[in-house]
Chains A and B, each alone.
Chain A
């Protein structure tokens, strides 16, 4: 999974915390999470077509799934991660 954030903006900090909590709780250790800070690497937004932050991508299994927001809605996040 890849999480795009923007520095220490409130939504971004919350998203990082939420993502880590969800992964730990529901995926235990069956995951890899990369956090990309767009303030440090703005060009990377082009690669995945990122418009808003935070955005979480499920890279595998394909197809890629994406969810936007600070991931406070755990159910939505889980639904997206489980989508086929």
Chain B
């Protein structure tokens, strides 16, 4: 809202997304706004939403004067918007049934003084700040006199300025863009004029809104597409011309650890991820993994699916071990399943925005986004997907989109241009080889993230989803059974070489043992020889001693001395032999 200054127009928010932006804060407070358009443009919704938003968000009570439809009808119609009008009606809203039945007999001029007196009392009762006169054209037609019409309109305007209420008057105009000449004075009288337009292009309805006049305020005067969603009306403005988002370096898991590794830590928080591939390449499964992981971290998640029911998806995912039911139960996960409806994707993106506002998710899955982008048939819708992704980025929501690609030359091409918007693009393709079809996953791009350039094989089983390295051999990438065989062969080869090693070691151990045994034999032999020598030497010593003794005795007896030298020489030779044996074991065998 614009900061209030004594001179500037202060404004009230309508709660109509987009409108409050293009008017820099909503409708002029305490002034009157005219909403005009052909039948079915959403005039009543516009007016009612402005009133309801006041009652719900800013606790400003309001009055609704219905000239055209009965209040019962209006409340019933608004039930689709989830505003809970009956509850608001008790406290914050007052509906006045001012339907003038066509059978009413008119006998002379009349005025609105009585009704305004009643409204004034009611406004005081509930402290109303806003009022809607819905379908003023019905009243004007009944007056059937330009002077009287003007008089009553001025009466309403004076009454509004006296009571200080913010007024919204809706007026039906015939045909597209045409305004009955004598009602144009309404446009001069009010402070703000909003024109709604409804057209049919190629069998699809398009609604547009344009602010024609806004006294004392700037506004965007272009025509903007509007959509009616379950949360009410919203307006798609073209988005900021300058792209400025809060960026995050935080990473969040893709739900598949090996994919996180390939991305060096997972998806970037707040980015948009595109998973493309042919039908059945497990795009949905990959996006569901992301959703399940987000829920497991306790983050609110919105799962949007087209042409497949939520219950069906939950059941199918259970077969690959992904369980979403508990998260649905806890309310963390919201599943929104819808069908693509014709070329007006603006409406569908509008509904998605409403879903985002209602659930306030942290993570989101759109499966498939291509369901919306391929049906583009109208210029106004052409950049709807871009705008929606911009919106999600602005909200800081991490979104995983899938995109279906079939046909022949669509390997790495997206006709829709979604890929240029994606921050991270993962492509899953089929590789048909050796009579089987396998899934190959690659990361085509990942802005601002280092990532693996490797192809991985994606396999689905009862235990879940896994990524496996693929082998390149003989100039071919091996996947599926071929990869499995290769793995088996590799394993068998490893086993064989292991066995050979073991055998070789055993053989060597045997040889070593043999050598040791031989060594023992030699050593024992040596000892035996040594012993023998010792014995021999001993024997020789005793013998010579004996001889000497005998000789000595003999010499004594003969008185001789010449034999002594000979005996000494013999003793010396025996001692040298003994010394050699003691000096260690011989190294030779």
Contacts and interface: CB of A to CB of B under 8 A. Distances in A.
B108 to A, nearest CB: 4
A51 B100 contact: yes
Contact of B107 (A6, A12, A45, A73): A73
A53 B100 CA distance: 12
Interface in B96-118: 97-100, 104-115, 117-118
A68 B117 contact: no
Contact of B111 (A6, A46, A80): A6
Given A38-B114, A53-B115, A67-B106, 20 more contacts: A11-B110, A38-B117, A39-B114, A42-B117, A43-B118, A43-B121, A45-B118, A50-B118, A51-B100, A52-B114, A66-B104, A66-B105, A67-B105, A69-B107, A69-B109, A69-B110, A72-B109, A73-B107, A76-B106, A76-B107
B120 interface: yes
Interface residues of A, number: 37
B118 A54 contact: no
Contacts of B97: 49
A16 interface: no
A6 B109 contact: no
Contacts of A15: 108
B110 A53 contact: yes
Given A42-B120, A42-B121, A43-B121, A53 B114 contact: yes
Contacts of B117: 6, 38-39, 42, 45
Contacts of A69: 106-110
Interface residues of B, number: 20
B260 to A, nearest CB: 66
Given A49-B97, A68-B104, A80-B105, A39 B110 contact: no
Contacts of B100: 51-52, 68
A1 B105 CA distance: 15
A71 B91 CA distance: 38
Contacts of A18: 108
B95 to A, nearest CB: 11
A67 B108 CA distance: 9
B105 to A, nearest CB: 4
A71 B112 CA distance: 16
Interface in A21-76: 38-39, 42-43, 45-46, 49-55, 65-74, 76
Given A42-B120, A43-B121, A51-B98, A68 B114 contact: no
A68 B106 contact: yes
Contacts of A6: 111, 113-114, 117
Nearest to A5: B114
A42 B105 CA distance: 23
A52 B108 contact: no
Nearest to B125: A43
A79 B115 CA distance: 26
Interface in B16-44: none
Contacts of A50: 114-115, 118
